A and B are shown apart, each in its own frame.
Chain A
């Protein structure tokens, strides 16, 4: 089947060799950096607004040694990661068990779903004013915003995973006398794990993005704050450096959870 698919695709647009594809990828990268460098160097756009790749790299090196907006870029990054970790762990710790329990206890499902549905469409970032009002702008407020971004995928995927468990397994466990909590712990959790982990990955992405939003608006440290400071003082290189840092961390988080997902899938057998 895979072979057939490969042949079909190859026929779609002639059959490019692996070497040709690699060369094209290199050309693509060169074009990207070349265009960036070219436009920056040409003087069409003032360097103030579009610094070249070299300038951004230099700025990152400088930010790593000299504090800007209070701290060096490493300290800002750590502050962001701390908030992210707290919000994400809270979302997973509440969302996953709640989702599983909703999958098992019907009354809970009927009670929570309408509530959840009615706030689901409020963008996480719209919680910023209340987050600041209730928990301040230190650690509590941003955590609430990350939480509101990261919570729904945790809940939805745990619920969905629990609902898709083979009925036979559930009935077998019940026949053998397992109670609700035991069924959740010993049948639903293992069976729903691939779905839960997939949800965690989506949730981490949304949480990281919400964190940046929170930092743009309410806090006084972190990469988002670094970015805003760069923006208000018209320092485009600093803004771009912070964007690079944000991208790199988001990428690392994603790779880590992807690895976790792969491990789970492999040891659980690919069920999807």
Chain B
């Protein structure tokens, strides 16, 4: 029941990194991307700024987005700070929440994979909490910790913890038992088995889990900031939404995308370093 779930997640996660970008010729793809992007951008400009088919209240023109970008990068910025400050606030919280969750989740998953007893003890409570989506913890987090950073880290922790545990657990379970027996036969102590056989063997799955964790952290943080925050990208989005300021909404969304992509790429780089034998 448990394992099948993670294989799906792993397949999806693994797929995102691999097949999608490889597969078919990259230069051809780039040409197509440009061929698609130029008319699209042109259509955006014409429909919003020349023919005014799309009203400015619904979707901003390129000029409005540029104005919004200028406004938020100068002086006091918008919604409590400049874009640099808002982006820094959000990334800082994600990295902190993610680090805390991974730091707790990976060892717990390893422990549950290593010991049947630990698994039996911890799993029931884990299975009870797991179906509650991380976003559903937001109101409780606000009740308990208010609108500040602690509430956000608490929510991110729930988002990132579960995939970290599940995938580390599966990773250890999938290590070839022959390898473990071989290490034992050659006189490895339990600590050596864990450090030199189980952890390296589980590492690919652990990274799959971390990637899912990071994506979940980012989504959850943006949601938490939308619901209640004093600073951050989600806060910019909700303030711009209340002001009916589409230029700013789009600009903030672009930054949500950029930061999401950057973090995923950074993790992929670390993964390459940590598991050189995989690729």
Binds A, one of B61-69, B75-83, B128-136, B271-279: B128-136
Sorting the interface of chain B by its residue count into under 10, 10 to 19, 20 to 34 or 35 or more gives: 35 or more
Bound CA span A220–B123, Å: 36
The docked-state distance in angstroms from the alpha carbon of A4 to that of B181 is: 10
Interface pair B19/A163, CB less than 8 Å apart: yes
**CB 8 Å contact bits of B176-188 with A (1 = contact, 0 = none):** 0110110010000
B32 partner residues in chain A, CB cutoff 8 A: 107, 110-111, 114
B3 at the interface (CB under 8 A from A): no
Residues of B within 8 A of A111 (CB): 32, 36
Tell me whether chain A's interface is mostly helix, strand or loop, or mixed.
helix
Taking a contact as CB atoms under 8 Å apart, the answer to whether B117 and A20 are in contact is: yes
Please give the distance in Å from A127's CB to the nearest CB on chain B.
Answer: 8
Q: Is A100 an interface residue (CB 8 A)?
A: no
A8 within 8 A of B: yes
- Inside 8 A of B223's CB, which chain A residues have their CB? 123, 125, 213, 216-217
A109, chain B: closest CB distance, angstroms: 7
Whether the pair B219, A248 counts as a contact (CB closer than 8 A) is: no
Interface segment out of the listed A26-34, A57-65, A167-175? A26-34
8 Å CB contact of A243 from B58, B132, B180, B261: B132
Q: Say whether B205 faces chain A, with CB atoms less than 8 Å apart.
A: no
A25 proximity list for chain B (CB < 8 A): 120-121, 123-124
A184–B125 CA distance with the chains assembled, in angstroms: 44
The answer to whether B29 and A113 touch across the interface, beta carbons within 8 angstroms, is yes
10 contacts between A and B (CB under 8 A): A13-B116, A22-B120, A32-B125, A110-B28, A122-B253, A224-B136, A228-B139, A246-B132, A247-B129, A250-B131
Q: Which residues of A contact B219 (CB under 8 A)?
A: 123-125
CB-CB contacts below 8 Å: A209-230 with B: 209-210, 212-213, 216-217, 224, 227-228, 230
The reply on A129 being an interface residue by CB < 8 A is yes
**Cα distance, A7 to B222, chains bound together (Å):** 46
Whether A28 and B249, one on each chain, are in contact in the complex, defined by CB atoms closer than 8 angstroms, is no
The CA of A130 and the CA of B247, in the complex, are separated in Å by 11
Closest to A115 in B: B36
Interface contact A126-B222, CB-CB below 8 Å: yes
Q: Which residues of A contact B241 (CB under 8 A)?
A: 128-129, 132-133
